[in-house]
Structures are given as C-alpha cells and as structure tokens.
Structure 1
Amino acid sequence: MSAAPGRSDIGPAPDGRRGVWLAWAAQALLIAVVAGGAFWLVHHALEVLRARGVRSGFDFLLQPAGFEISEGWLDFHAGQPFWRAFLAGLINTIRAAVPAAVMAVLLGTLIGIGRLAPHVLVRGLCGAYVETVRNVPLLVQLLMLYFALTQLLPDSTEPLELLPGFWLSKGGLSMPWPVADEGAVWPSHFEWPERGSFNVSGGAALSPEYLAVVIALALYTAAFVAEIVRAGITSVSQGQKLAAQALGLSSWQQLRLVVMPQALRVIVPALTNQLLSLTKNSSLAVAVGYPELVSIANTSLNSTGRAFECIAVIMVVYLALSLVISAGMNRYNTRVALRGWR
C-alpha cells in the first residue's frame, strides 16, 4: 500500500530556526573555551614569572611612559601612561597601513590588467615589475627606499616642488592641509606650506620614515595584488567576453560591466589575505624608526622589562586588526559572491 501523497516516511524536517540557534550556541561555546584557555595561559605565565622573581603584570600600563613619540595624530608626551603610548602606536600603524592598502589595490589592479594588455611592451613592463618586486624581501626594499629619501633627495633648504604647494626634501613631504578656525569643528580653509630660508613651514609634513613605510608596503603588496587580479580576470569564461563583444561594448565597458564583476568572486578572498599581510608587515617599520605599534612596544619593553606583557599587547592588537579586516572583506565578499552559494 503506497504512502499518502505529500507525506514522508523519515519524519518531519528539523526546525530551521532551532538549527540556527544551535549553530550560534556552538560558536558561543567555542569562543568561551578559547577565551578561557587564553586567560588561563596568561594567568599561568604571570604566576611563573612572579615565582621566579620577575616583575610581571599589566599594571605598568597605568604608569607614566617617560618617553616621547616623534610623530603621529595622537598628542602624546612623556608624562602620559603606557596605554596611551600603545594607542598612539596603534593609530600610527593604521595611519600607515590604510593609505598603503589603498595604493596597493589601485596600483595592483592596473598592473594586473596591464599583464593581460594586447601591447607587448605593456605586458613586459608589468610582468617585469611583478617578478622583480615580489622576489625581493620587503625589508630590503624598505631600507633602500629610506636610503633614497634621506640621502638622494635635496636638503630641506632647497626642497623640490613637485606640484604647487607640494615640497619634497630629505625632511619629508610638505603639502596643503585643511585647518579649522579657533572654536570651529570643521575645517574652513587650507593651510599652504611656504618655503623659508632653512626649511618649509606650514601645512602638513610627512616624515621620510612614514613615506618609506607607506611606499614600500604599497609597492610590495601591489605585485601580489596584480597576480590576484590577473588570475581573477582569466577565470572569467571566454564566452562571457564574446557575448559582451557581440553586444557592441567597448573594451573598457567589457572590463567594467562584464569581466570585473565576475572576477571579483575570485579576487576578493585572495585579496583579503594580502591586506592582512600588509597590515602585519607594517611592523617592519621599526627598522627605519617609524613609531608604530611594535616600535612603541619595544621601547616600553626596554623601559619596564615587561617582555611577556608587551608581546601579549602586540599579539592582541594585531589579532583584533586582522579580525576587523577579515570581517569587512568577508562582508564585501558576500555581496559579490554568486547568489545561492555559501
């Protein structure tokens, strides 16, 4: 005797809402276990250090730092606590990583497209750039750029004017900057740098250390981004391109409207890894004296002797930055992924 239509012999389907709650509960439990394990490890390490007579604990973060920070957006002086010094280092890290990431994505996209250009010279130049830059260690490139900025450029008394209001010398780059009147919230006008007898004053000044870090990170990461973009474009089937040609679209329209939207499904996941690497590679800025997070932590370690604590702060901060970047890129990836895919 056959079963009635619409009925199943395997019982009712599981409740979808219940499955979602179970998934969230499992994730919350996993986070709790990981957090508990991390807390136990830190507590155990501090107890071992105390038993050996080594000063330990994070109480030093509330003590005066006793050192100055050469540059940055956050005002800091020696009498302020260590936690504010770490915050200034974090802001300096973001200050270098964000513009470097934007430059790397833009330059890498252009080079990746250039590697597929019909012109042999363009393809050759883009290929030579990728093969040269990505096979030279980033630290070596950073040191070479810093040497070029501090040794090969003209002195501050004779700066090179790149554009009206933009002055470049061994002292760094001076450029116009928006400023607000006293008591105002929003900028009302631009302050333009002016060349003086000894240096350039006014506007915003970017140190050679900062310029070397940003340019090195951007150029190095752009070589990897170019290969990611090239792979993403070549992953689009030839039929899609032929269909776009049949519609009478120009080469630029084909790339912008047909090829790149589909290529992003391949580009975005791999690009996330490169942005994470760029952020962590910014720690190499300590080699040229730029006061980012690792540099501040190194100075704090030498001042207090709290090696474990300073390293733990670095780990936590970089972990938080990486999670934020991953969350943002994963959210964007869901927008460009194929509908129905998980």
Structure 2
Amino acid sequence: MALLFTSHWAAMFWNDAKIRGLIYQATVLVLVLLALAYFALNAQQALQERGITTGLAFLGQQSGFAIGEGAITHDASDTYFHALLTGAINTLTVSIASIVGATMIGLLLGIARLSANKLLSGFALIYVELFRNTPQLLQMVMWYLLLTQLPGPRDALSPIAGHLYLTNRGINIPVLENGTSLFTAFLLALVLVVICVTTAFRLMDRRLRNTGKANGRFAALAGAGIAALLGTWLLLGTPTTLVSPTLQGFKYRGGQTISPEFIALFFGLSLYIGAFIGEIVRAGLQSVSRGQLEAADSIPLSRYDRFRLIVLPQALRVMVPPATAQYVSLLKNSALGVAVGYPELFNVTNTTTTLSGQALECVLLMAVFYLSIALTISALMNLYNRRVQIKER
C-alpha cells in the first residue's frame, strides 16, 4: 500500500509541467557548473605544472610603464591596478563624450531626414548611408591621419586667435583658472540644462492645466538656461578668468591639449553611431500614426506643443530600446582606440598582459568591466523607458 501511495504521488509530481521544467533546468545547470569546474581545475593544474602563478596579487606590483594621457596621471612607479584604472577612466571618458555627441548628431539627422527641404533631407540621407556603410575602424584611422597632417605647433591654425590652436599634436584649448577643462564644464552645464529645462516644462504644464494660460514659455526657458549656467559657474568654484595655451619652445603650455588619438576615437564613435541613431529617431517619429497628428490639430495646440506632448512621448517608446543597444555598442567599440594609440582599457590591458604575464586575469578583469558598464547602461535606459512609456490599458 505504501509503495502504491508513493508511486501515485511520484507520478503526480512528475506530470506537473512546471516542476518537470524546474528539474530539467536544475539538471542542466549542475552539468554546466561541473563542466566549468572541470575546465577550471584542469587549467589551473596545467598552469602550475608550467610554473605560472595565478591570482590577482600582481595588481599590487609596479607596472613599469607610463600612460601619456588620462584623467589621472600614471607613471612607471604606479601599480598595475592603477594602470587598469586609468585605462578604464579613459574608456568611460571617451564613451560618455561620444554618447553625447552621437545623440546630438542622431537627433539632428533624424529630424533632417523628415524635413520638407530636399537639400537638408538629401544631405542627411547621404550622411547616413556614407557612415553606416563604411567600416568604423577605417573612419577612425582616416580621422587620425587627417589630424596628424595639421601644421606643427609653430605654424598652428588658430580659429580663435590667442585661445584655440590646432596642430598635429592635438587641439589646445583654454581652461578655467581652477584647472577645470572646458569639456568638463560643458558636460556639467549640459546636465544642468537638461534638469532645469525639464523642470521648466513641468511648471509650464502645471500652469497650463491650472490656469489655461500657456504664455511665458520663452521667459521660463530663458530662466532655466540662466539657472543652469549660473549653477555650473557656482559648482566650478566661481572662476572668473580663462588660462589660454601659450607656445613655449616646441609645444604649447597652459590650457589643455586634446590629443589626436582622443579626437580620432571620438569622431569615429560619435559620427558612426550617430548615423544609426539618426535612423532610429526617424523611425520613431514616423511610428506615430497620422490619426494622432490629426487629433492634435483639432485642439488648440501649437506645433511645438504637439511635438512635445503628443509626438515625442509616443516616439520615445519606439526609440529608447534600439538606442540603448547603440550606446552599449559604442562602449564596446571604444576598444578600437588601440588602432590609433589611445590608452583606453583594451590598450592598457594589452601592455599589462605583456609585462605581467597574467593574460587570463587581465582578460577576465576587462570582460567584467565591459559587462558591468554595459549592464549599467541597459538598466538606466530601461528605467528611463519605464518612465516615458505610455501606460496602456
């Protein structure tokens, strides 16, 4: 009797599709973990037999090489960990700058593609087809070669006399008196502009709902812009003067030099990904049905309000997911900077691997970094997507 009762419950247990699926998944997971453990132990034994040490202890050793460019200074006496950190910061710097540039280019291209002006839409179409259909690495090398053909420091081009110099060693620009670069100030100002303008839009919408009046838009936006610039100035320590570069000997001193390697990588990433984002913007805007536009025209909304309140919220639902994929692709493609000599993470990791001999550890650390940043970008964009998506019933 007990045997029959046990068999009955076992049959019921096994016939449950959910439970059976969990058993299959658990079995596969155990087999995969056992296989990974086998390969890991086998690799460790092979390394020990050849006298190759493993682990992350090498990160505390002196690197023995310097990195010529970076947000933080790295010389030969610093550790391997500091070298990899410098490379990671360089990767983030060029990636963030390129994401901002690609987004601006993409927005302009997407709108231009839908323009009634044939010259403007034709230019946008040629741009998209040209940059999408040529290799990104080729574009980076082309920009690098063009930049290195500029005159030397003594014959520098100066579009803004006394402040901006273009040479084959890079672009020399002023810095604020506290040492803050104009690029950093621009990014900070851009963030504050987005925050202030978004706040101004919400206040205007609230006023429109409460009073039915939409006037005062220009004053609100102007106030948001002034507040953003004032906030940037205060956060940077209220600088009052610019320190411009000056020619001393064979190089410019003072100010900040943006290297040809950084510029070539920035152009290669932002111009290439910008073409894809331009098509994403165009498709997103065209995804809004004509009925929605006709319904918007039936109520007293300006073209600007129609775009901001009706077209853009629906278009973002289409644009955000593919744009996220492009941002992640841009981050990973920053590793192409090794081709033009920019010391991003991949380049620094190659040097670290050569000098330390810890190839496996270096590759794993690099993989963890790229995976972590890519997942962070995806998580942030998914969070934003949930905020802007239209709530459907």
What range describes the TM-score normalised by the shorter chain of this pair? 0.7 to 0.9
State the shift of 1:154 in Å.
Answer: 1.9
Q: Alignment RMSD, CA only?
A: 2.5
Deviations 1:275-304 (A, max 9, x none): 000000000000111001000100011112
Correspondence for 1:118? 116
Alignment of 1:17-32 (within 5 A): none
Q: Is the 8 A contact 1:134 1:223 kept in 2?
A: yes
Q: 1:223 to 1:42 in 2, by over 3 A?
A: farther
Gaps of 5+ in 2: 1-25, 180-234
Correspondence for 1:109? 107
Q: Is the 8 A contact 2:313 2:389 kept in 1?
A: no
Deviations 1:146-185 (A, max 9, x none): 000011x22111222233522211111111222438xxx9
Deviations 1:300-338 (A, max 9, x none): 111122211111111011011111111111111111112
State the shift of 1:188 in Å.
Answer: 4.7
Correspondence for 1:158? 155
Q: How many residues align?
A: 306
State the shift of 1:216 in Å.
Answer: 1.0
Q: Is the 8 A contact 1:130 1:223 kept in 2?
A: yes
Q: Is the 8 A contact 2:175 2:256 kept in 1?
A: yes
In the superposition, the TM-score normalised over structure 2's length comes to: 0.72
* 1:232 pairs with one of 284, 287, 309: 284
Alignment of 1:127-276 (within 5 A): 127-151=125-149, 153-163=150-160, 165-180=163-178, 187-189=237-239, 190-196=242-248, 198-276=250-328
Take 1:248 and 1:125, find their aligned partners in 2: how far apart are those partners?
34
Q: 1:262 to 1:204 in 2, by over 3 A?
A: same
Take 2:375 and 2:43, find their aligned partners in 1: how far apart are those partners?
25
Correspondence for 1:331? 383
Correspondence for 1:6? none
State the shift of 1:51 in Å.
Answer: 3.3
State the shift of 1:239 in Å.
Answer: 1.4
Q: Is the 8 A contact 1:104 1:221 kept in 2?
A: yes
Gaps of 5+ in 1: 1-28
Q: Equivalent residue of 1:174, what SS?
A: strand
Say yes or no: does 1:92 pair with 2:68.
Answer: no
Q: Is the 8 A contact 1:195 1:201 kept in 2?
A: yes
In the superposition, the TM-score normalised over structure 1's length comes to: 0.83
Q: 1:42 to 1:177 in 2, by over 3 A?
A: farther
Correspondence for 1:294? 346
Q: Which has the higher helix share?
A: 2
Take 1:260 and 1:65, find their aligned partners in 2: how far apart are those partners?
50
Q: 1:42 to 1:247 in 2, by over 3 A?
A: farther
Take 1:226 and 1:206, find their aligned partners in 2: how far apart are those partners?
27
Q: Is the 8 A contact 1:180 1:188 kept in 2?
A: no
Q: Is the 8 A contact 1:172 1:207 kept in 2?
A: yes
Deviations 1:106-140 (A, max 9, x none): 11111011111111111111011111101101000
Q: Equivalent residue of 2:123, what SS?
A: helix
Q: Equivalent residue of 1:65, what SS?
A: coil
State the shift of 1:76 in Å.
Answer: 1.4
Q: Which stretch shows the higher mean deviation, 331-340 or 192-201?
A: 192-201
Q: Equivalent residue of 1:319, what SS?
A: helix
Q: 1:148 to 1:201 in 2, by over 3 A?
A: same
Q: Equivalent residue of 1:173, what SS?
A: strand
Correspondence for 1:57? 55
Give the aligned residue type for 1:158.
D
Give the aligned residue type for 1:108.
G
Whose Rg is larger? 2
Take 1:38 and 1:230, find their aligned partners in 2: how far apart are those partners?
47
State the shift of 1:43 in Å.
Answer: 6.2
State the shift of 1:54 in Å.
Answer: 3.1
Give the aligned residue type for 1:110.
L
Correspondence for 1:312? 364
Take 1:290 and 1:266, find their aligned partners in 2: how far apart are those partners?
35
Give the aligned residue type for 1:191.
V
Take 2:330 and 2:357, find their aligned partners in 1: how far apart are those partners?
29
Take 2:390 and 2:48, find their aligned partners in 1: how far apart are those partners?
55
Q: Is the 8 A contact 1:178 1:187 kept in 2?
A: no
Q: State the structure with bigger RCO (CA 8 A, min sep 6), 1 or 2.
A: 2
Q: Is the 8 A contact 1:46 1:57 kept in 2?
A: no
State the shift of 1:340 in Å.
Answer: 5.0
Q: Which stretch shows the higher mean deviation, 238-247 or 79-88?
A: 238-247
Take 1:42 and 1:177, find their aligned partners in 2: how far apart are those partners?
51
Correspondence for 1:14? none
